[in-house]
Chains A and B, each alone.
Chain A
């Protein structure tokens, strides 16, 4: 009805305008600029000489995934995936455990809560330095058993060169397509069981296509690397040290989130479950955990984007050039400012942005939807 430019609306627009303009320039404008730079051969010499950057299409991206000199980037990708999964699992498990323990109405809860939250107050740099000392294989935690007369530990922590679950980079497309196949089959079965045959039929067709492609086509050829020389990757055991340090820092925060969630579950609900004959474990299994699901999702999103962007912790622990715990953020910094290759650095930055976006955007979208529902 009052679609015209009322006074209220005008004020609202004027109030919003500065921040809209600033965000448009300094966030989205710069993302776009980075995106464009990633498509050029921009480098320090060229820029200092005042020469224009040449547009080279997706060459930087191609180099990162297939170039012989960019093994480091591919190691980063593998490291990031393993680190993110383990870091989130550790934080969720420890955070949930601590929260449940604190929720038992124990004495001095406030003190414990503060203690568990304390690591959050430290910067990752401090955490990194402290854990670097603790993890030093000849003088750190490994020496601990000798106090009670046991032999010193032999694990080499963050400088370990051990690898578990080895695979060749050439097999990554194959592994990914098998994972997709698994998801498609699982989803198809789920929809069949829900009797939504149209969606299920579509998914089944997709699964069959994938299966055919895996059997007849060769996803291996997608890797772009020489199939004769398998490039070995795997879970670098050194990452365990980083997971422990990062988990130590962020578990308290996860605990606080879960504790808030637990406090939101009314005692009546638990009582009702107990009256219905639920055991104490059952109360958690059927009442508490399902109600905590949204918290788990929020925690996963927050931890996920921290781990994908992690830089300082790994930099201080590994000194920058320890490839076994290297992360894309460090590689991006070195490629851009040490190798002076701005174009390729921008390409790594864009890939990091895409990874974070994959995690964040569905979350934001679901938040937006639930907000509009209200």
Chain B
């Protein structure tokens, strides 16, 4: 009798909550599993993800979070597992994917993603996220398919100000200045002008060179088909890229990106072009002070342009716990979540209402990067999945590796053109 009345009370309470439709109470009723799939398994990324999960756990204590992060290969292994699971009809509740072509040309095109417009509208995010960024995660019909967590910049050049003075060089404004003046001066002084790492960091360098040589319109044209891959301009990209490689360290293929950045911090090399995750490496791992132990500028010839990439999370069709995933995504896009995650990972918040001016959360680099983000021309990064499908990015690494060996611009340009056709770019 007593248990029955208790049960009735519970039912009544549940009904009341339902009737009043209290959002928080409704959310608190969420239970079951939530599987989050990513390749964030180390350093600040992992710390950021764990902090997000901890906060989410406070909000929804009954949801059991499964952190299915797959380590290694800057996401290669994770993407292989994800593809297999999606094909096998076993999608996670939500997964990490780069904004842009990596999301659109595979998952969205195959119709495997749920539109998230309702979440955006319910949270008023249409006004809070930059329109250009939303374009990258939407289809032509205006359906939005993922929630951006952060913004990274690809075309950043790192250096140590005191060292440059010592060697008598200044930050080059153009690539011509770099290869013709800065580079010979530094080489004569026995300093490596440009610290370069393994294959993918060379591809990363290539996109900054391409942007500098082709300009914004020409660079964007590579991806929409208006710039011919075998045109003289595109050939000039490879020629210039070859000259920059000639200013690099000989053991580039043996170094990770951290090794390459460390060459700059150690004073063995003058410059390093790497995404702004390097800021986190300089600040946290090497404990350097911004503007003193390390400083930054846009890659030569790309001033005023912000080449971006963004990590986002989406909701695959057939996810076992879509309600939990929606709660997670609603949280992920909020200013609160972005302010938890980004200072730890070392990236800019994608949500413009985030507390960016807070110097305790966002250091000097990110203050200046945010200014650029809001004032510069925005283009997407090729290496990091924003403008070209995964098939192109993967094949392009082979072209980069081949070019590193033979320095044959004509072959590289012809191969890139063939690869673009094969992977449906500009078509």
Contact = CB atoms under 8 A, between A and B. Distances in A.
Interface of A: 43-45, 47-50, 68-69, 71-72, 132, 135-138, 156, 158-159, 161, 232, 318-324, 333-341
12 contacts: A44-B110, A45-B109, A50-B110, A72-B402, A321-B198, A322-B198, A322-B199, A322-B253, A323-B405, A333-B80, A337-B79, A339-B395
Contacts of B411: 68
Secondary structure type dominating chain A contacts: helix
Contact of B405 (A319, A324, A336, A341): A324
B251 A136 contact: yes
A71 B254 contact: no
B251 A138 contact: yes
**The 4 nearest A-B residue pairs measured at CB:** A337-B80, A48-B110, A321-B199, A338-B394
B200 to A, nearest CB: 7
B416 to A, nearest CB: 9
A263 B394 CA distance: 52
B86 interface: yes
Contact of A69 (B86, B199, B405, B422): B422
Contacts of B399: 69
Given A48-B86, A159-B251, A69 B106 contact: no
Contacts of A324: 405
B16 to A, nearest CB: 44
A337 B78 CA distance: 10
Interface in B405-427: 405-406, 411, 414-415, 418-419, 422
A338 B389 CA distance: 10
B366 interface: no
The B interface, classified by DSSP as helix, strand, loop or mixed, is helix
Given A48-B110, A48-B112, A338-B394, 6 more contacts: A44-B87, A320-B73, A321-B199, A321-B200, A340-B390, A341-B391
Contacts of B405: 161, 323-324
Given A69-B398, A321-B397, A324-B405, A45 B251 contact: no
A170 B106 CA distance: 37
B105 interface: yes
Interface in B228-260: 250-254, 256
Contacts of A335: 394
Contact of B106 (A135, A320, A334, A340): A340
B394 A339 contact: yes
A68 B229 CA distance: 15
B286 interface: no
B295 interface: no
Contacts of B79: 337-338
B111 interface: yes
A257 B204 CA distance: 48
B394 A45 contact: no
Interface in B95-113: 105-107, 109-112
B12 to A, nearest CB: 46
**Residue of A45, A158, A232, A338 ringed by the most chain B CB atoms within 10 A:** A338
B364 interface: no
Given A45-B105, A48-B86, A48-B110, A323 B198 contact: no
A68 B414 contact: yes
A267 to B, nearest CB: 51
Contacts of A341: 391
B112 A323 contact: no
A338 B198 CA distance: 17
B83 interface: yes
